[in-house]
Structure 1
Amino acid sequence: MKKRALIIGGSSGIGKATAQNLLTEGVEVHVVGTNLEKLEAFKNASGDHLHIHKTDITNSTDVLSLNETINQFDNLDYLVNASGVFGPKSFLEHSVEDYNKYLDLNRGFFFITQAAAKKMKDSKGGAIVNVGSMWAKQAVKATPSSAYSMQKAGLHSLTQHLAMELADYKIRVNAVSPAVVETPVYDSVFGGEKEAHDALQNFHGFHPIGRNGKPQDVANTITYLLSDKASWVTGAIWDTDGGVMSGRN
């Protein structure tokens, strides 16, 4: 039976790079995103092994619909929770709306992962990788991110709890914890793609390794954690961060 993967947030950035890795390995990949134009462009460039689902995972009705699709799968082997929003703002200026966009994202992850884990249990095992963040472990004054950090810290915690709970069903659960990775999540922060690219050039020196991350850097780690090569790894939160957690230049 062909391996099947579900990538939440798979139309761009880290999720898309992960989907591309899996496609090259012959995996049937289902990507979930909100931007239909990006989804269709990815589908047109990738062929029959890629399936797209326009879904807003912060919308409970959309999540129910996606979970019905998951329930209809014959098998599900891999899940990657890669959707993200990032809007640095002072804690004292955060609104309820700001907070809820992060809270709603984690609610979507929680119940999609539940549906996926039930299918993996029926399929006799699987692997899940959550995309967390260095900001969940360490504050950065230049990018105040209290609500974002709570959301990502929640994913880190969920990773460890699910690793314990799902191990009996041969389901491994891990996370990656990136630092600055050049993805479209920064476009809205800086006012556009070019503006984000230019602004992020100031962060290369933030990383001991001397450069920002690329989506492929993180995708390669995710692909490894999904694979049988990592069969003895679960409950881990891997710092895929150019060395930031070890120190700063």
Structure 2
Amino acid sequence: MSDRPPAVAVGRSSLAGARRELLTVRGRDPVGPYTLLRLARGGLDPGTPGQFFMVEAPGRVLPRPFSLCLAPPGELAFLIEPIGAGTRALCACDVGERLHVLGPLGTGFRLDVGNPLLVGGGIGVAPFPYLAEHLGRAPAVLGFRTSAHAAAASLVPGAEVVLEPTLVTEALPVGRFDVLACGPEPMLRAVAGIAPGAQLAWEAPMACGYGACYGCVVRIGGHYRRLCVDGPVLHAAPDAEGAP
């Protein structure tokens, strides 16, 4: 185990503020290979950027966790990559179809930062449009596998885009920034080494979303964390160890 301080949650976390409602699909817009699924908001609070919602996929037993991408008036919008049966079912939903949604859940980004820089990889761009709306056009560096996937950068005004094989960490600007990052685990660990104290939004499979099943436990900085309640946004130790 590491003797460094444990990763700590940042932002707002409140299960008490979460609700479960049956929401109506208003639209599904293609964004490159991704789909922006737009739902009527109902009585759900959009929460703090970086928090997530458990969305029940048609015909599937377990819901899927998604960070909120956009919150226009009366809507909640989620950016989804169709990579499995559940996400493909959600991306194929028809307008008017109804889905159970629980949220907001988990811990979001802390917004009281002086010089923010958003750093994202792939579908990790998902929470940034809503986050940038709160921060006010923060600079962003976003990495994608292909130019088709990079279409998602259009949701974050002014974002700089890098494509593989260039790493997003190779394109970070010089200077002192308050880094807020979301993306694949190797990218987050690299960002933690470059920018100690960065706010990192981690990902893991979830079954419940509120700490009961322990299905989203990961090892970060030598400590085990349930991402659904301790995260998904954490300050990770710069020597964070790999998940077992």
TM range (shorter): 0.3 to 0.5
Relative to its length, the structure with more strand (as a share) is 2
Relative to its length, the structure with more helix (as a share) is 1
Q: Kindly indicate whether structure 1 or structure 2 has the higher relative contact order, using CA contacts under 8 Å at least 6 residues apart.
A: 2
Return the TM-score normalized by structure 2. 0.36
